[in-house]
Structure 1
Amino acid sequence: MDIDDLIRVVRSLNTDDAFRARLDPFQWRTLGSYLAAYEMRAGDLLIRQGDADRTAYFIAAGSLQVYRSGPTPMQTRIALLRPGALAGETGLFSDQPHSANIEAMTPTQVWAMHLPRFEELSARAPGIAIEFLRAAGAVMVARLRANLISQVAVA
Structure 2
Amino acid sequence: MSSAIQELCRAIAQNTSYDAFAPAFSQAQWDILGAYLQPLDMPAGQVLINQGTQDRTLFFIESGALSVHVVGEEGQMQLAILNPGSVVGEGAFFSRLPRSANVVATGSARVWRLSPIRFAELANRQPAVALELTLALGSVIARRMVNKPKRVAVT
Common fold by TM > 0.5: yes
Q: 2:70 aligns with which of 68, 71, 76?
A: 68
What are structure 1's unaligned runs of at least 5 residues? Answer: none
Which runs of structure 1 show a deviation greater than 4 angstroms over 4 or more consecutive aligned residues? none
SS at match of 2:54: coil
CA distance in 1, matches of 2:38, 2:44: 19
The 5-angstrom pairing of residues 105-144 of structure 1 reads 105-144=106-145
Query: Given that residues 38 and 111 in structure 1 are in contact (C-alpha distance below 8 angstroms), is that contact kept between their aligned partners in structure 2?
Result: yes
Q: CA deviation at 1:150?
A: 2.6
Q: CA RMSD in A?
A: 1.4
Offset, 1:41: 1.1
What is the CA deviation profile of residues 3-49 of structure 1, one whole-angstrom value per residue up to 9, with x for unaligned ones? 11111111210011111101111101111110000111111110000
Deviation at 1:98, TM superposition (A): 1.1
Paired AA for residue 93 in structure 1: F
Partner of 1:3: 5
- The percentage of aligned residue pairs carrying the same residue is 38
With normalisation by structure 1, the TM-score equals 0.93
- Gaps (5+ residues) in structure 2? none
**In the alignment, what sits opposite 2:39?**
37
Aligned ranges 1:72-91 → 2 under 5 Å: 72=74, 74-91=75-92
Q: Which residue identity lines up with residue 140 of structure 1 in the other structure?
A: I
Equivalent pairs counted in the alignment come to 152
How much does 1:135 deviate?
Answer: 0.1
Opposite residue 42 of structure 2, the aligned amino acid is: M
2:120 matched to 1:97?
no
Match of 2:21 among 19, 22, 25: 19
